Structure 1
């Protein structure tokens, strides 16, 4: 047998199971096994399901009491720190009296994910109806976990959104098959994120359910942002969740082929006792979530009173056609940006703009008095998706010159980030300064199997890259060790009067493929608070500023023209001199405050630090340049 035939035989053997599905009778039998195994008894007979009193849940009651149909009142709380965001979630889950609805893109089985699962099951057992809706490509790790959840309790139901090949989990050959047969369907993902308790208090924003989002990873953590909303808009959140839950694409897990087969062969496995990587940390979080005084001091007392709040959400109808027809989130956000008269302050981890967005910014720049557009995004050193960064790098001339952007790129070791380094679990040598980045834990160069699995969900904002090789897709090597921080917040402030926190990366995927959501608050005080948070991220201690590199002494016009022509090419953008580079602020008596790049004294106060500061240039630097040259065709799916 030739090598080709052997490969074809192996590929066929791997793909055949993916094509096999459960018969209707098998599917009914699996569903019956799960239903019969679900306990129906509850641990509490009280009307309130023995809910834990919560100052966060009380905000909802207060907001409803103060509201009228003509003048709604809300409380809004920015959740900047990862540990606070997890504390708020656990405390709210325990406060539920009737319902908990959770919708998310990534749900991992690490410490943070497992802790939330345990709390949801506990809520179901005390009498709360719990609905858990997960996007298929990034949901949990093991089929056995799904099978156990299928029969965990009568009050708990789990569904997966858009399960390609009718499965809960797919391996690499199955992914290849799905990409070959149904690429558009594969890319249509539910990126919407929402936790809603009793239809009264909701949390939405950038965070998924994984250690990296809650300052619990000792190698890489996300600087992210959520907003907690208490009040009447929670009803709109409930309506939008119901739309997803009832959609035909939201499939009960026991009806999926691999979960159903597991149930038919083995029955419903017992839900195992939790095993945490750092049990002391999870125990501390559980104690803190039960401490009403602590939750009030750290969270509830910081909530702001606001009036009208809008919840914008794409519906599953976005996936019924070409996507743009029902892209309500994208259209609403573009309308907000176009309304700006003075300033657009935008934060996104992945600066890759769709064609409509590019045209919008180009048109805005042509106004007689265009608004200032300030962008906070990732550097190559900080990002978790270097291929996406490569396209951002390719178009920096366009962003700066044609769209008038002022771009700040987040550092991998910011000195003033709202991240709890002590929560990561990394240890600091006694000789290391207190403000220095913490060292990463040692590991084998290839990574253990456990570590590879822990990384599995890290770079999954982009479904097209879901099964790329780990070493090709992980954050780039740096010149020094430490707990790396990457920006993941998606926020917007318009003219210091409207604040937006959501899930949309302001990218082509959010426009055409993913369902997205956003909380829009037209309140000047909230907008100022959000703007202050973003401005903290773009301060010199935390970000580099991007500006045009120094002009060459001769033929500068020719160099610019050649670079512009090369940039227009979809492939073979090989011109080595990029228009812009990164700059570091150098404080002095003459330069006491940071300046924007268009300030007259900018070059006297800033020094260039290269295109990829902090990066240990090597293969990743080369591949970044390769994707800059050849990757423009990926833009529609990035």
Structure 2
């Protein structure tokens, strides 16, 4: 009874700490923020003193050249993190009327603060700026959110799906939310958009955090964005508006922690720690103002015709919602229409049941399409539990779905990454300061698998490797069908994207664009950047029995304890007769590849053991992974 009483008292205390403001308190906090907002505008010109940008100009030109039945667009694949940040800065400075930002993670590191500074500068020039962030990944400090609530009349930030009526929740509150509202806890806004003046936008995998722009000294994401200019931006803007006005979206002052801070002390000054590497910030800032540099980037954009934007509706998070979400339905439809080849890139190869059924059906065709998959290795991933589920089903992926899987290496030799930008070539004290700053903060913002971020044994820490250095992991979500349709979006092709997260994607049916996107994915799958997954050598004796028992063990939801897995990793070994890596079913595959073990580069230890444990017992986690 005493234990029950203590638990009830704890639950009451947690609930009391998480209670939303009363309507009267929310109105009072809103007034405090509203009265503090500056109305001063730095510019009286009609263009809001915008800096001309070739990227914005492409959007203006595309709209001028378009007709209702003949749209014209420009599309630019942003592979390099520095290009992605440069494009964002240039577009923000070119804004004349409006900027809309929708994102999952918005951190308070160098990249996050730099973009936030640009957004506030645009607001002070006279541009209407709206920022929508998911609660579990919003800015780290409540003081920052309170300051932004009263920053400027042209700037507004809102939070999507704030559990317990708060902008932030601590670990005990997270436990309470998991106990009372597990499904809502997992329902996150994973969409990512940057829209300028209704003429140009960026979408894709990147959030606002150092690790998405090659700015982290320890671990960065090899990601992909798509810049698109033309009429489709109006559809993207309409999607943003739906989320901005959604029933789960809240203004900052009405959230309990933000509102109470405003009521206690008014709007605080905007906290802004000094940039850890100010020289790097200054360089990218100068580059964003370099018309020739931005023009050279814009010149790489491909002219395309019709562009489709697929986006889930906020209603996906309504109680009782049924049916396949638009993002999932659209992607499955494209895959179903494949005739020759599917190129799929996802950081987390955990397929939903409906996707598994589709790939089985494709392989049952008389002439099935080839399916090449680019994903993370255990050494590269930021989510080893998710990798464990992928590891568990490698036999199924290879035999039943016909996948040719290439797992990204943690130290790729020829990928579109910029190691110099990480700061590891800067003086050691600056690097150490950045690393220490990252370690001193709470970790939850750094992972997109929101419902498992608070795992007590740090389930989303990277595994230890045999060697040190800046590590990279895949984060791009892309699809190419028959080298005629290209897709860049936010969907990881996983159960979470199907059922919990809201997602979006840009679809372009254009051979030149599809081939450019295919070349980008193939580069990530090249031997310098990835290991190939194939069947391991058969045992000398009882090979059929080993396979059968492994298959039976794999089918069990728990207790998948058979020690021998169907597949392992292979490294390409060039030499006479091996100038190019042959496919896994080619008779010369083994002559040109060496097996390197199930977990190459990984220092075997606790994480490897846990990977095997979750292989055995973690299948039940698949729906939220």
**Which bracket does the TM-score occupy, shorter chain normalised?**
over 0.9
**Alpha-carbon distance change, 321 to 372 in structure 1, aligned in 2, over 3 angstroms:** farther
8 A contact 1:101–1:196 mirrored in 2: yes
Whole-angstrom CA distance in 2 between matches of 1:544 and 1:241:
39
CA distance in 2, matches of 1:256, 1:48: 35
Structure 2 residue corresponding to 1:344, chosen from 334, 342, 349: 342
- Between 1:601-610 and 1:313-322, the stretch displaced more is 313-322
Q: CA deviation at 1:9?
A: 8.1
2:237 counterpart of 1:260 = no
- Verify: 1:480 aligned to 2:467, yes or no: yes
Residues 353, 508 of structure 1: 8 Å contact kept:
yes
SS in 2 for 1:409: strand
Distance (Å, rounded) in 1 between the aligned partners of 2:385 and 2:440 = 19
1:458 maps onto 2:446 in alignment: yes
CA contact (8 A) 2:205 2:475 kept: yes
Counterpart for residue 543 of structure 1: 530
Q: Which residue of structure 2 aligns with residue 398 of structure 1? A: 396
Give me the CA root mean square deviation. Answer: 2.0
Note the C-alpha offset of 1:132: 0.2
Give the Cα–Cα distance (whole angstroms) in 1 for the partners of residues 280 and 443 of structure 2: 20
CA distance in 2 between counterparts of 1:273 and 1:463 reads 26
Instruction: Say yes or no: does 1:490 pair with 2:477.
Output: yes
Identify unmatched segments of 5+ residues in structure 1: 430-437
Contact map agreement 1:318 1:326 (CA 8 A) in 2: no
> Contact 1:110/1:454 (CA < 8 Å) preserved in 2?
no
Task: Return 22-31 or 467-476, whichever deviates more.
Answer: 467-476
Report what 1:309 is aligned to: 307
Deviation, structure 1 residue 428: 8.4
> In the alignment, what sits opposite 1:389?
387
Structure 2 residue 330 is matched with structure 1 residue 332:
yes
* 1:282 equivalent in structure 2: 281
| Partner of residue 506 from structure 1, selected from 489, 493, 507 | 493
Contact 2:19 2:164 in 1 (8 A): no
1:291 Cα deviation from its structure 2 partner: 1.0
Structure 1 residue aligned with 2:144: 145
**1:111-510 to 2 correspondences below 5 Å:** 111-273=110-272, 275-297=274-296, 299-325=297-323, 327-427=325-425, 450-453=438-441, 455-459=443-447, 461-469=448-456, 471-510=458-497
Deviations along 1:268-308, one digit per CA (max 9) or x if unpaired, are 012245521111111111111111111112x1111110001
Q: Which of 551, 555, 560 is residue 547 of structure 2 equivalent to?
A: 560
Indicate the residue corresponding to 1:32 in structure 2. Answer: 31
- Once residues 443 and 233 of structure 2 are traced to their aligned partners in structure 1, the CA distance between those partners, rounded to angstroms, is 34
Post-superposition Cα deviations, 1:203-249, rounded to whole Å, max 9, x if no partner, equal 00000000000000010010000000000100111111111111111
CA distance in 2, matches of 1:569, 1:250: 40
1:7 positional shift:
6.7
Say if 1:314 and 1:326, in contact at 8 Å, map to a contact too: no
- Asked if the contact 1:374/1:405 (under 8 Å) is kept, the reply is yes
Aligned length: 625
Does structure 1 retain, via aligned residues, the 8 Å contact 2:131–2:157?
yes
Note closer, same or farther for the CA distance 1:159–1:443 as it changes in structure 2 (3 Å cut).
closer
In the alignment, what sits opposite 1:80? 79
Post-superposition shift, 1:154? 0.4
Separation in structure 2 between the aligned mates of residue 448 and residue 73 of structure 1, nearest angstrom:
48
**TM-score normalised per structure 1:** 0.95
Question: 1:457 aligns to what SS in structure 2?
Answer: helix
2:384/2:462 contact within 8 Å kept: yes
> What is the DSSP-based 3-state SS (H/G/I as helix, E as strand, rest coil) of the residue aligned with 1:473?
coil
Q: CA deviation at 1:473?
A: 2.1
| Greater CA drift, 561-570 or 242-251 | 242-251
1:62 aligns with 2:61: yes
2:81–2:213 contact (8 Å) kept in structure 1: yes
Q: Secondary structure at the match of 2:618?
A: helix
Measured in 1, the distance between the counterparts of 2:409 and 2:562 equals 26
What CA distance in whole angstroms lies between the structure 1 residues aligned with 2:216 and 2:437? 17
The 8 Å contact of residues 323 and 513 in structure 1, kept in 2 or not, is answered as no
Q: CA-to-partner distance for each residue in 1:347-374, whole Å, 9 max, x for gaps?
A: 0000000000000101111011110010
TM-score by length of 2: 0.97
- The 2-side partners of 1:74 and 1:54 are apart by 17
Cα drift, residue 450 of structure 1: 4.5
Q: Secondary structure at the match of 1:616?
A: coil
Q: 1 CA distance for matches of 2:590 and 2:377?
A: 21
Query: Aligned-pair distance for 1:19?
Result: 4.0
Aligned partner of residue 325 in structure 1, secondary structure: coil
- Out of 580, 584, 587, which is 1:597 matched to? 584
Mapped to 2, the partners of 1:353 and 1:138 lie a distance apart of 25
3-state SS in 1 of match to 2:371: strand
String of CA shifts for 1:584-635, please: whole Å, max 9, x gaps: 0000012111111000110111010000000001000100000000000000
From the superposition, tell whether residues 198 and 470 of structure 1 become closer, same or farther in structure 2 (CA, over 3 Å): farther
Would the alpha carbon gap of residues 322 and 20 (structure 1) be closer, same or farther in structure 2, given more than 3 Å must change? closer
Are the counterparts in 2 of residues 74 and 308 from structure 1 also a CA contact under 8 Å?
A: yes
